[in-house]
Structure 1
């Protein structure tokens, strides 16, 4: 991409979108296009069409989505499938109509079958049943992937779907009812330290393992793929983006406790669910393009905790 290329980042206030903005600015890209939800409702096809005709972006990062935790997905499945399908359909179709050079579509690792072999390879997509608690969201994201592939095949577009692992970093969600495990633990340990609490309780046994990628590494991967990927002979490309490294919830808790400086005990509540025992994605394909993550988990948590304390 030229440094003065017109680049639209949809969802620029979110965890991933804001990281992409930071990375593009660091690299010297000068013509970044953004809109808040109040300025542009991406579920409105007429508004999206008008936006593309006026702004004429050349590249698109589609990071906008309705997201939430297990409770939200179970409570509002209709909203999750409807809003995400509308956002994707409007942005992807307008990108085709207005001749976008490349689009990068962000999905989620929840698209893969619940019982997929580990590590999860891209080719495992649609080979088994989904996790029931977020199947509506997952189906919407799968439709986005298929839409990218269909437009590539029929119209010769360059639309690249990517599947990130669990992300963390600046602008994360720290609401204990809706947050993912890593930001939730940062808040729990920080508040326990501040309040001199004797212990912090973590759900489950601590044995399940998870993979975590700093969002700045995610932004780096997105920029790498949109600038480097040649799709001339590959209409159905798909890239997992992760670290290839997993850590148990128990070890993650110990790591965060040490970084926060909390001296109390950790209690594991065995009456609470563990969730899936393992969920790690295979990153062989993206590594073959020359990309790999740079931010180690401990360093990433240190910077994330610093950012959290500065925003409280």
Structure 2
């Protein structure tokens, strides 16, 4: 990337968008103009509204983060909504990017799109090897189709459309709505409310045994910028912490408790579903390109995330 670029970020006011904004503002590159979209800028599920956004800003590059997202229980009860809305949104972004001559599109997938029954660690070649976990099949199939479309646009039109597959992302500006949040912001919000009322028991849904890899949003933002500027493959690339950094939900709850200085009891409601036990991802492909990239230590990233929510809970997405 050497000439001046206009980079449009869909979902630009969300968790990852805000992290990218923080990183690019610190860099201050004169050859890049960044536009961070919010839902107020238009309905990306509507072709005409999306086309108007592109005609207004004339992007040369797109980072596509916008999606209908939610946690385990929200997915389980709204699979059709997740499928239809994400399919419409993704198709509009990619096709209008093609129509308007966008040089490169980087879309954001998720490790939850991988087959439910698979070998571990998962890698980029295994996305389509079987059905996803039934709890989130609507979201998963919509996201898998981005990979299919990227390859089809490249084959038929030579487009440089690619995608990244992050592991579980967390950090400032997350979604803390207990009905639709992911596990880390949900637990941060829950413990915040407990401590505000003087409660002494922190109840976590499930057994606490499932294992997850978590990536701090600011680390992911730096990797996104590398993909935008340097990565030249249509095949997706997993952006994940190393396999040894996997933690259990129990360890996560304890880390959040430590960050809050919580002295009470942590309990696990084993009558609630756990979801997938594990979805360990290999970042070997990423390490081939960036062997020395240093991820923020988990305890530091959790503490910074908790401190942000404590300072901003009144304006956070609750």
Q: What residue in structure 2 maps to residue 180 of structure 1?
A: 182
Q: What residue in structure 1 maps to residue 157 of structure 2?
A: 155
Q: What residue in structure 2 maps to residue 310 of structure 1?
A: 311
TM-score, normalising length: structure 1: 0.93
Given that 2:150 and 2:161 are in contact with CA atoms closer than 8 Å, whether structure 1 keeps it comes out as yes
Supply the distance in 2 between the matched residues of 1:132 and 1:257 (Cα, whole angstroms): 31
Supply the distance in 1 between the matched residues of 2:8 and 2:214 (Cα, whole angstroms): 27
Output aligned runs, 1:147-226, within 5 Å: 147-226=149-228
The range that moved more, 268-277 or 142-151, is 268-277
Q: Deviations over 1:114-165 (max 9, x none)?
A: 1222211111111112111211111111111111111112211111111111
Structure 2 gaps, min length 5: 314-318
Supply the distance in 2 between the matched residues of 1:37 and 1:275 (Cα, whole angstroms): 29
Supply the distance in 1 between the matched residues of 2:18 and 2:254 (Cα, whole angstroms): 29
Q: Structure 1 293/117 Cα, relative in aligned 2: closer, same or farther at 3 Å?
A: farther
Supply the distance in 2 between the matched residues of 1:266 and 1:37 (Cα, whole angstroms): 37
The range that moved more, 188-197 or 3-12, is 188-197
Given that 2:41 and 2:53 are in contact with CA atoms closer than 8 Å, whether structure 1 keeps it comes out as no
Q: CA offset at residue 195 of structure 1?
A: 2.7
The range that moved more, 47-56 or 11-20, is 47-56
Q: CA offset at residue 3 of structure 1?
A: 8.2
Instruction: Select the residue among 66, 69, 72 that pairs with 1:70.
Output: 72
Q: Structure 1 28/212 Cα, relative in aligned 2: closer, same or farther at 3 Å?
A: same
Q: Structure 1 60/17 Cα, relative in aligned 2: closer, same or farther at 3 Å?
A: same
Q: What residue in structure 2 maps to residue 251 of structure 1?
A: 251
Q: What residue in structure 1 maps to residue 270 of structure 2?
A: 270
Moved over 3 A (4+): 1-4
Given that 2:150 and 2:162 are in contact with CA atoms closer than 8 Å, whether structure 1 keeps it comes out as yes
Given that 2:13 and 2:36 are in contact with CA atoms closer than 8 Å, whether structure 1 keeps it comes out as no
Q: What residue in structure 2 maps to residue 242 of structure 1?
A: 240
Q: Structure 1 95/302 Cα, relative in aligned 2: closer, same or farther at 3 Å?
A: same
Supply the distance in 1 between the matched residues of 2:26 and 2:170 (Cα, whole angstroms): 20
Output aligned runs, 1:1-312, within 5 Å: 1-2=1-2, 4-29=4-29, 31-231=33-233, 236-244=234-242, 245-290=245-290, 292-312=293-313
TM-score, normalising length: structure 2: 0.91
Given that 1:193 and 1:261 are in contact with CA atoms closer than 8 Å, whether structure 2 keeps it comes out as no
Q: CA offset at residue 91 of structure 1?
A: 1.0
Supply the distance in 2 between the matched residues of 1:76 and 1:41 (Cα, whole angstroms): 19
Q: CA RMSD, aligned part only?
A: 1.8
**2:177 counterpart SS class:** coil
| Corresponding pairs, count | 308
Given that 2:205 and 2:270 are in contact with CA atoms closer than 8 Å, whether structure 1 keeps it comes out as yes
Structure 1 gaps, min length 5: none
Given that 1:192 and 1:262 are in contact with CA atoms closer than 8 Å, whether structure 2 keeps it comes out as no
Q: CA offset at residue 2 of structure 1?
A: 4.7
